[in-house]
Amino acid sequence: MARAILCVLDSFGIGGAADAGDFGDTGSDTLGHIAEACASGKGDREGLRSGPLHVPNMDRLGLGAAARGSTGKTVPGLEFAGAPEGLWGHAEEVSNGKDTPSGHWEIAGVPVCFDWGYFPETIPTFPAELIEAIIAKSDITAVLGDKHASGTVIIEELGEEHVRTGHPIFYTSADSVIQIAAHETHFGLERLYKLCEITRELADPYNIGRVIARPFTGEDASSFERTANRRDYSVLPPEPTVLDRLTEAGRTVYGIGKISDIFAHQGVSRVLKGAGNDQLFDKTLEAMDLAGDGDMVFANFIDFDSLYGHRRDVPGYAAALEHFDRRLPEMIAAMKDGDLLILTADHGCDPTWRGTDHTREHVPVIGTGPGIDGRPVGGRKTYADIGETLAKHLGIAPGKHGTSFI
């Protein structure tokens, strides 16, 4: 039995990227700064968590060692005294952006070597002719927002006006993205999806990576809540990923959460959705129970990024890491002989950093499985090494980018 389980802890960077200055992120360190805040008491929140960051299971596998390899610094609270029990190291991104598609595609063996289109940090941010074309081709008459914003914040700010007027909320970020928020019932979920399809087509000339439907429910700013019915409309990766190569070989690829959306629904055989990290963890365990010999389970844990990184919520991010760590033994216990589990990330989103956007950082590469001995895998020169490691483990031909570390 040879199966692969790949878990992306969305935005869980570990600092140290040599090219961080090119992105205005010199010194950013998601893990390190969260741990420092926790050690100083700034990561405490009554009723949620307190004290130093406590992630003993990931630390035992090599997270603290990986962070030291990335930045040269010891992370407070991650000081496992023995030799790490897993494969451990870090990877640097060679793709031109620090966005979700670039990170995931590179993890899957295909770096992004072209430049995405982005929108300026102005109000309005979108070209007038683009918004006019969207209005002309759809059934809307105006948009709200039209700026850079955090998704949860802009819904709190404009959600009531949206419900009152029926105008959808358009916003963007430092990613190559157009996000459209609308109420599931007052605006309509299928209507939102149709609007996103129209926008996706009209955004192509601007080289925009994703259009994202951001449905929410609730009746006022205090009760608005985004739902699991998010849908991403992505462009296709520029060449076949390890997911494509696996499906072509007759394997089943299980996409947990937003994975299928990120890859434009290509290369993913079965989709299991969930609202929040706990449900996504449960769906990952479900997929592991279903997966057969040669199959792959690919999960994205979104809350780290969307709820805590972008909202610059240090205690929330720390608590989410600790909760994931407490559940990690469940995933390890569900592994079978021959399985390989890799924990990694797609970029950083340092909650102590300025602004609300992603940060350019190294990502952890932590591997474990029955019979796998602990050892360092070093500093990998591209995330694509992860995809090529999975390809080798699952016995398919290597791709054009990256090198296996097993």
Per-residue pLDDT tens over the stretch 268-314: 999 999 989 999 999 999 999 999 999 999 999 999 998 999 999 99
Q: Which pairing describes strands 4-9 and 340-344: parallel, antiparallel, or unpaired?
A: parallel
Per-residue pLDDT tens over the stretch 141-174: 999 999 999 888 999 999 999 999 999 999 998 8
CA dihedral 105, 352, 171, 222 (to 10 degrees): 120
Determine contact, residues 149/171, Cβ cutoff 8 Å: yes
pLDDT of 363 strictly over 90: yes
Q: What is the pTM of this model?
A: 0.89
Residue 277 backbone phi and psi in degrees, to 5: -60, -40
Per-residue pLDDT tens over the stretch 311-345: 999 999 999 999 999 999 999 999 999 999 999 99
User: What residues are paired with 4 via a beta bridge?
Assistant: 296, 340
Q: How far is the CA of 213 from the CAs of 145, 169, 209, in angstroms?
A: 15, 10, 14
Residue 159 backbone phi and psi in degrees, to 5: -60, -45
pLDDT of 68 strictly over 90: yes
Could you give the angle at the alpha carbon of 352 between the alpha carbons of 326 and 118, nearest 5°? 105
Q: Tell me the mean pLDDT in the region 11-25.
A: 97
Which are the contacts of 266, defined by CB distance < 8 A and separation ≥ 6? 236, 237, 243, 244
Residue 275: predicted pLDDT: 85
pLDDT of 1 strictly over 80: no
pLDDT of 51 strictly over 80: yes
What is the rounded CA–CA span in Å between residue 77 and residue 209? 38
Q: Tell me the mean pLDDT in the region 199-219.
A: 95
